[in-house]
Structure 1
Amino acid sequence: MEYFKLTAERIAAYGRYLKQEERTPATLEKYLRDVRAFSLWLDGEAVTREAVTGWKDRLLAERRAPSTVNAALSALNGLFRFLGWEGCRARFVKVQRRLFRDPARELTRPDYERLIATARELGKERLALVMETICATGVRVSEVRYLTVEAVQRGRAEISLKGKVRVILIPTKLARKLLKYAKKNKTASGEIFLTGNGKSLSRRQIWAEMKRLCVRAGVEPSRVFPHNLRHLFATAYYRAYRDIAKLADVLGHSSIETTRIYLLTSGAEHQRQLDRLGLVS
């Protein structure tokens, strides 16, 4: 029987491969964190399908969410594919399709408006504009760097990520705000959102600033993170145009099934829809 040993060198090689595949820094960090956690759990033992299944069972016993466990397995299966260890790949946890969004994690339009207003009241213009940019265009937080002065002047940004290029149109009102902000900060070209040292604004920094803001805005912290702004954009877009295929293109999804997840309604909203059917006399 072939003996598969997971070493630091192999994990590092996998990291270089993910980088070459143009995975986002957040995905790269998450995959390597999961692989290293599995390696630590193995404690020098051989990698087998049984070992991977054992680790999956351990995560479930720790009451990890099925989606979290599947994300960890995705990282491992990618590693095994890279190394040619196909026999070690494990099956994902079967998860029943969600019907409703968790209201505790849903960012509503009033929540969003309070966050923007509070940021401006506190003089955090950059944060307010970053949030508006994500929510008005649907870009990922990692794609904010593609909003350059030149792109805004053209009214469109070309985003190259994961080997794919897509074009994002910038609303006219947002474009005016962004150019005004760039002029105020003496940014004549290149990225609009920069740190005080002139570096790109990181995903982690945007996340941290939003979390600090939610306390002052009176919005539940569980609802406040950059990706929820993208969800709010998707919901507003679909309600306006009812075109899920076009929305998938705008969001950069390769599968409409992924886009469908963004459009889950809350249980309360579904209840109102049932009541409006008027099927009870």
Structure 2
Amino acid sequence: MNGYLMTQREIAAFEQHLRGEERSAGTIEKYLRDVNAFARWMEGRAVAREDAARWKAHLLDHGYAPVTINSMLAALNGFFRFAGWEGYRVKFLKVQRRMFREASRELSRGDYGRLLDTARERGQERLALLMEAIGGTGVRVSEVRYLTVEAALAGRAEVSLKGKIRVILLPEKLCRKLLKYAKKQKIASGEIFLTGSGKGLSRRQIWAEMKRLCRHAGVEPSKVFPHNLRHLFAATFYRACRDIAHLADVLGHSCIETTRIYLLATGAEQREQIDRLGLIR
């Protein structure tokens, strides 16, 4: 038989490999979703060397964005590398670096305010405080579990991910709000943002609650997802300090190029900057 069969046993082993590398829960979830999508597309057939390239073409034909396709290929290549399937990895699409961010995905401070106000009006205190915590500190959604009673008391949270430890300073006003909420919920220690059964909120739960809220707040759903709160924090912080290296440290980025992506202007902002050059007579 030519090629290899992708089995659920191998995919499960890949998951354990990712956990051993201390990948974030979100990364593991995405990699497994993309690898399983490819496995379903193969419909039980043995994987030949050209199949990954065929899948790339299939995704393009079905309207997937190039950046999305490359992220899916990264997951698949990671599986091939883990499985030892030499020569099966596929090249990424060549994508020119984007110089501006789409306005349809730009969460403004006005949008942010409407989301917070609407959540409170609807009695969704936990969601309002959670969005404020992410927006006010820039933590990743996977780092919300480090916002504990102890962290609020100390005014700082120690985040340990991928073998790295960084300290997140918590604003005094946020600490007071967190402790007040924890006392109301009878949470004496540990994580503050919990489900009714006492478990930590998952990325999927947070995402779903925000998506439902945006309809009531009159904010475009394309702008409303947890990571956009982190982008809002980054843009606001940079406007205040104008120090990208400092911002990279605050966000926990090891590469300033990653931080730069957070600071892209919208297309409308960039067009205004070009118009002000006055070079069209």
**Shorter-normalised TM range:** over 0.9
1:193 is the counterpart of 2:170: no
Give the CA deviation at 1:223: 0.9
Aligned: 1:166 with 2:166:
yes
Q: CA deviation at 1:221?
A: 1.2
* Post-superposition CA distance 1:72-118 (Å, at most 9, x none): 11011111111222311111111111111111111001000111111
Residue identity opposite 2:37 in structure 1: A
Counterpart contact for 2:3–2:49, Cα < 8 Å: no
Whole-Å separation in 2 of the counterparts to 1:6 and 1:69: 20
Alignment partners' CA distance in 2, 1:279 and 1:6: 58
CA positional deviation for 1:278 = 5.2
- Tell me the residue number matched to 1:59: 59
The change in CA–CA distance for 1:36 and 1:125 in structure 2 (over 3 A counts) is same
- The letter of the residue matching 1:124 is Q
- The 3 A distance-change label for structure 1 pair 51 and 116 is same
Deviation at 1:25, TM superposition (A): 2.3
Bigger mean CA deviation after superposition, 136-145 or 240-249: 240-249
Q: How does 1:66-77 map to 2 (within 5 A)?
A: 66-77=66-77
- 2:2–2:48: 8 Å Cα contact kept in structure 1? no
- Report the Cα distance in structure 1 between the residues aligned to 2:146 and 2:200, rounded to whole angstroms: 10
Q: Is the 8 A contact 2:2 2:46 kept in 1?
A: no
Which deviates more from structure 2 when the two are superposed, residues 192-201 or residues 18-27? 18-27
SS in 1 for 2:50: helix
Match of 1:221 in 2: 221
- Output the amino acid matched with 1:4: Y
CA distance in 2, matches of 1:72, 1:50: 16
Percent identical among aligned pairs is: 68
Q: Which residue of 1 aligns with 2:256?
A: 256
- Give the Cα separation in 2 of the matches to 1:269 and 1:126: 34
- Corresponding residue for residue 267 of structure 1: 267
In structure 2, give the amino acid aligned to 1:140. Answer: R
Aligned residue in 2 for 1:245: 245
Write the distance in 2 (CA, Å) between the matches of 1:41 and 1:218: 37
Tell which deviates more after alignment, 4-13 or 218-227.
Answer: 4-13
Structure 1 residues 116-155: aligned runs within 5 Å: 116-155=116-155
Structure 1 position 178, deviation (Å): 0.9
Q: Which runs of 5+ in 2 are unaligned?
A: none
The SS at the match of 1:87 is: coil
* 1:85 equivalent in structure 2: 85
Aligned-partner Cα distance in 2 for 1:64–1:244: 32
Shift of 1:280: 6.2
Gap change, CA 1:70 and 1:133, over 3 Å in 2: same
SS state at 1:205 partner: helix
CA deviation after TM superposition for structure 1 residue 254, in Å: 2.3
| Residue 208 (structure 1) shift | 1.4
Give the match's secondary structure for 2:230: helix
Measured on the aligned residues, the alpha-carbon RMSD in Å equals: 1.8
TM score, norm. by length of structure 1: 0.94
Deviation string, structure 1 residues 28-69 (Cα, Å, up to 9, x no partner): 122112112212222344334312111111111111111111
**What is aligned with 2:177?**
177
TM-score by length of 2: 0.94
Partner SS state of residue 130, structure 2: helix
Q: Distance in 1 between matches of 2:59 and 2:274?
A: 38
- Please state how far the C-alpha of 1:207 moved relative to its aligned partner: 1.2
Distance 1:95 1:4 in 2: 30
Aligned-pair CA distance for 1:279: 5.4
**Structure 1 residue identity aligned to 2:239:** R
In the alignment, the residues of structure 2 paired with residue 255 and residue 203 of structure 1 have an alpha-carbon distance, to the nearest angstrom, of 24
Distance across 2 between alignment mates of 1:10 and 1:51: 18
What is the identity, as a one-letter code, of the residue corresponding to 2:113? E
Q: Deviations over 1:129-157 (max 9, x none)?
A: 10000001101111111000101111111
Aligned position for 2:21: 21
Once residues 267 and 33 of structure 1 are traced to their aligned partners in structure 2, the CA distance between those partners, rounded to angstroms, is 32
1:104 and 2:71 equivalent? no
Structure 2 residue 238 is the aligned partner of structure 1 residue 235: no
SS at match of 1:167: strand
Of stretches 31-40 and 64-73 in structure 1, the one that deviates more from structure 2 is 31-40
